[in-house]
Structure 1
Amino acid sequence: MQFKVTILSVAISVAMIPSLAIADEAADAKIAQLEQRVQALQSQQNASLADKVKLNGFISGAYISSDNDAGYNNADTGANFTEESKFGLQATFDISDNTQAVLQLMMRGKYDWEVEAEWAYLSHRFENGIKVRGGKLRVPLFMYSDYLDVGYAQPFGRPPVEVYGAVPFSSYTGAGVSYDVDFDDSTLTMQMFGGESTIKATGTDVSNLIGANVNWTDETWTLRAVYGQAKLDGDLNSEVDVTLAPGVVTKADYTVLELNDEKGTFAGVGASYDNGEFIAVTELTRIEVDNVSPDTDSGYLTLGYRINEFTPYVTVAYMKTQDNEERLPVSEAAAIQMVAFNAERMAYSLGLRWDAIDNLAIKFDVTYADDFGDTSGGFSGNSIDTTTGKFTYDDTLIYTVKFDAVF
């Protein structure tokens, strides 16, 4: 009897083998179908994400040096590879057809390649054409403000520091609103902005920042005007020589001026012409700050001409403080303020941009600055000789070799 039961069990098992095999095949088919569905969903999601996210970047590397240690653009007689070297990544995420999130991360050689968010904002364009942005934004004071760090988008080796170096901060936290008026062959853009910032070099707080600009362009001519104002609060420090003993001199920070919510204003106009061959760009600015802080006029004119992949250019720039009489040396503090704040100079640049390959430009620039008057020229390295009462340098010559690329 036991033998018969065993034979029956074996027979039943043998009979079930085809059914089990069929069941396994059906399960494998279902798993394969599920895997195909998951892969299809992942592909759709990745494609959708790729459509919504745009990633690009830019990089600059530069060598600068000078014939002396006056300090034009922080150049000296040594080789400087960090002052104008930078790397940036920008991501734009399309939340909807009219809403975007933008993040731009910057690393600058002069700040030891620390990662910093230069832009981090949300924007939305309403059906009536008004565009609102909020977050960390670029201060829209200059013609090249929106791509101040993107050297590839600029014709010259660097934006003239006589103008662009006069405002010691480039971004603010707040909001901006703009509106475009489209004509037949041109566009008029009106923009308002407001918020707060901090001057990184001095720690000065910039509050109640508010301003507006208007820009008209027909893609050949561009005309621009801007006005802004803010409150400044904090100490302005300067590095001075301190004699510890005969022949022993050290440097120490000296508070030149304390700013207590002083009002500062900025006004500027600009124009450019670019017909694909000939380039002309000019900007004029005026900065005024209450108290004995310097009021500064500055401007530049750049002319260039494209010859295939080469663009030679010349730039003439100037800057001059206009309120020197408020810092007459009637006291030690006023004398220090006079040395620290009074400034004037002319700068002449001769350069060449070579578009070597797509998205890569190599630039050569020689800048000569002089006409300092009875000032340091605005250079921290141009100290005054206490025995003669004259400044160390009457002029300075700066050499720059730079590459700018976008990707």
Structure 2
Amino acid sequence: MKRNATAVLLLGVILTLVGCGREPSENMDSDLQQGIDAVESAIAEGVDDNAERDDSNMEDVREGSSADTVATPADFPESYDYGSGRVGDWSRDMMLKRLPEPNGNETVLNTAAEPSKIQTLYLWEEGNVPAETEFTEDMDGYFDTWEFRPYVTSIPVREGVTPKGAVLLMAGGAYQFRGNYTDSLPTAAALREEGFQTFIVDYRLHPYNQEEGALDVARAVRFVRKNADVYGIEPDAIAVMGFSAGGIQAGEFLMHYDEDVNGTVLDRLYVPDELDQIPAHASAAGMIYSFYGRLSVGNMDPDWLAEGDLPPTFYVYGTEDPFYSQFEEQYEVVRKMGIDTGRIVLNGWPHGFGSDGGWVKDYADWLEEVL
């Protein structure tokens, strides 16, 4: 992928960030706008061609390919059609398309897990969603309305396939939107072909914070662990992964909201239920053009990272990503901490390529080894 094509794609991404969803209002959360500004600034600066790069691990660098990118499976319902999965075929509408929501009030607590078909369930019971942010009806300018409830979409392996494990996916979108049809859904379909049960988490966006979204991820992990037998997996064979902001969200969960932490840590009015008795434990992480940290800022402090008792972590990113140097630095920090790591670097590829580029099978092979 040439530099000019990279610039066009990055420009498209930032235009999507700024203009997605409803028309922004004067009530738009200031933190959200700052996040957009940070991404816009990083993309405008691009990659410093004169910056020193560590070529000591060139075996991780490859020329990305779309040859094996998985298109929408024939057995997917029409509402889950994401097209070819290739970056060049993306459209603005596809970037902003929303996954179907659950029927009625079906939740992970009141509805049986269905391992043989795509299933969508709300993560929290109505009226018992832990939050510290007050999102009210008169607030607009956001991708989701104040009535939004986080949910999970399960995508089973093909009939007759013995699952190798489960992977929970979080799409990117700078916490302003969730790019499910460009990030998580195509990757879920590709991992399905590799024998993994997949679960897409529609976590909370702005005006909610990163901590509240981490509770959504934890809730989804608990649901999968509770139903490990139903899905044909070992309870510990669970990985979380995310793209850009979705990876940061996965990292926030692993750093501060896994195991026995529940909604009461943020909301004293939250009433724990039977699902909270299950440890929210994940055994691997995937950082797809992402890192442990905050929006646009990776954390390079090994002491801070050590606090999370992080699992094996796999990084995927392109050399033309505006956050390339941060990905490189954190990968080395995590590796030197003794954490099992994997990495694929796509030469000439930018930020935001979803499942494209030919990296998914290698990631799946790595998952099979560490889970």
Larger relative helix fraction: 2
For this structure pair, what is the TM-score category when the shorter chain's length is used for normalisation? Answer: under 0.3
Larger relative strand fraction: 1
Task: Pick 1 or 2: higher relative contact order, CA cutoff 8 A, min separation 6.
Answer: 2
TM-score scaled by length of structure 2: 0.23
TM-score scaled by length of structure 1: 0.22
